[in-house]
Amino acid sequence: MKAKKLLSIFLFVLPLFLFLPLAASATTPLVQEKMPAVEINPDDMPRDYPLMYPPPTMNTGLYELAIFDKKGGAYIAGKIVFDKSDKDLLEDLNIFIPGKDAQFVNVVHEQYVYKETCYPWKYPRPLPAQIQGEQVEPTFGNSTPSAPGEEISVPPRPSIMPDGDEYCPKQYTQVYSTVDPEVTIGKKGVNVRISATAEDDTSQEALLFLYRLPSVAFNIFSNHYFRLDTVQLPFTTASTQVGILVKDGLHLRGAPGFTADYGGGYVPSFRPLEKARNLNREDNQELTNLSNEIAYQGMIRRGDSDVTPDSSLTLSGVYGTHLLMLYVKEIFLGIIFVLVLIAAILWAIKYFFKNHLNLRLILITVVATFFVTIFLVAFILLLFFYFRTTIGFGYSIPV
């Protein structure tokens, strides 16, 4: 009798232990690769005051951001970062774009320049201690207008501020110049030869480039399967990272539901890089924003270190228009597993408790209630994530 009681308790607790790991894995967020931590050497910084800190000194790295469309094609924007010791690589650089149908679009030279930038500056003139008979709203120091007769205190002018109407600190600014590349189309891809000049007044050099792969993914039952190879460079890159995005109405397998379409369908535009022409060390806020997005964005982001010369970092994945179709194999196998588990439990109850009808009915009822509850919860969660990622309501994740 004790053995039967222990068995009944075991059969009741077993589904709980099977369900808890599944629930935990379903709620575990995707861990994205982060850029390596870097250190800034204060001795390398200029001593001019006020000091605007330069961008962190980085080893040579490659960063790409791919956006896939409904037809299985992708636009890929890339960024090659050169540190101070590798600036000479820009003088004669070959970039190989893998892909038989690869199409090169454009390339831009990015430089971090330490220069003076001016902003409008209005500092209030000295005011008398007592203002009689009029309402005064100071331009500095107080957030609300003072009442007539109220004493108004104006803080002393900071010593670093100028006396004129402009504030002109020196800071690191990104400037852009167009590059005239030599493009050669081959059987296995496109070779882009670039010759750019690194200036002495720059702390960091980079190249922004854009290319297109019209048929990088193939379609099977509304799912697009892709295999993406990064560009190949003639030197070792200390850090290589790739971010994957899909356009509105598409879903990426492996990306958590709360980041699909970013809750509002945000996908950065590559148009500023595509249309960049005739630039000569000019400021361009759109290119600056895109430069940052290339290095940090992606529903899924993967990376590797020390990628050898003339080799690629390869990323493969699946995306499609129907969220549930991306996980149809897992759903099918999960249903089969649950059905087999139910059959095994019912057989065990029937075999070990064949002479105890009432206890057998109680155990069958408990098991049936447990699995029906699991099915209902799973169905509700599937509907919730489907509508949240398809329609676009829900959380908005900052990027």
**The two structure tokens encoding residue 331:** 């759903």
Give the pLDDT band (50/70/90) at residue 364. Answer: confident
Residue with the bigger pLDDT between 235 and 143: it is: 235
Q: Specify the pLDDT at position 4.
A: 54
Average pLDDT of span 100-117: 87
Checking if the pLDDT of 260 tops 90, the result is no
Residue with the bigger pLDDT between 398 and 375: it is: 375
Distances 354 to 10, 357, 367 between C-alpha atoms, Å: 17, 7, 17
Q: Specify the pLDDT at position 256.
A: 54
**The two structure tokens encoding residue 37:** 């931590």
Residue with the bigger pLDDT between 353 and 209: it is: 209
Checking if the pLDDT of 112 tops 50, the result is yes
Checking if the pLDDT of 279 tops 80, the result is yes
158 vs 63: CA distance, rounded Å: 42
> With contact defined as beta carbons under 8 Å apart, do 211 and 76 qualify?
yes
**Beta strand extents in the chain (DSSP E only):** 61-68, 74-82, 93-98, 103-116, 119-120, 166-167, 170-178, 182-185, 189-194, 202-213, 217-220, 223-229, 237-246, 251-252, 282-283, 300-307, 314-320
Reduced DSSP (H G I as helix, E B as strand, rest coil) percent helix, strand, coil of the chain, to 5? 30, 30, 40
Mean pLDDT is lowest, of 215-229, 304-318, 361-375, for: 361-375
Q: Which of 315, 145, 155, 296 is nearest to 231 (CA)?
A: 315
8 burial via Cβ count (<10 Å: 0-12, 13-18, 19+):
buried
Q: What CATH number was assigned to the domain covering residues 33-41+50-117+170-321?
A: 2.60.40
Average pLDDT of span 120-148: 47
> With contact defined as beta carbons under 8 Å apart, do 140 and 155 qualify?
yes
> With contact defined as beta carbons under 8 Å apart, do 296 and 245 qualify?
no
Q: Which of 82, 300, 44, 77 is nearest to 197 (CA)?
A: 82
Beta bridge mates, 213: 74
Mean pLDDT is lowest, of 150-164, 203-217, 298-312, 334-348, for: 150-164
Checking if the pLDDT of 1 tops 80, the result is no
Place of tokens 């048929």: 215
Measure the CA angle with vertex 67, ends 62 and 68; round to 5°: 130
Q: Specify the pLDDT at position 165.
A: 64
Output the pTM of the full model: 0.65
328 vs 332: CA distance, rounded Å: 6
**The two structure tokens encoding residue 147:** 């009442």
Q: Residues 156-204: pLDDT tens digits?
A: 555 555 555 666 777 778 889 989 999 999 999 999 999 888 777 677 8
Residue with the bigger pLDDT between 27 and 247: it is: 247
**The two structure tokens encoding residue 244:** 């994957």
Give the pLDDT band (50/70/90) at residue 46. Answer: very low
Q: 65: helix, coil or strand? A: strand
Q: Specify the pLDDT at position 105.
A: 94
Q: Residues 68-85: pLDDT tens digits?
A: 999 999 999 999 998 777
Give the pLDDT band (50/70/90) at residue 56. Answer: very low
Q: Which of 122, 121, 116, 111 is nearest to 48 (CA)?
A: 116
Residue with the bigger pLDDT between 302 and 389: it is: 302
Average pLDDT of span 379-391: 64
Average pLDDT of span 285-302: 85
In the chain, what percentage of residues exceed pLDDT 70?
A: 66
Q: Specify the pLDDT at position 161.
A: 54
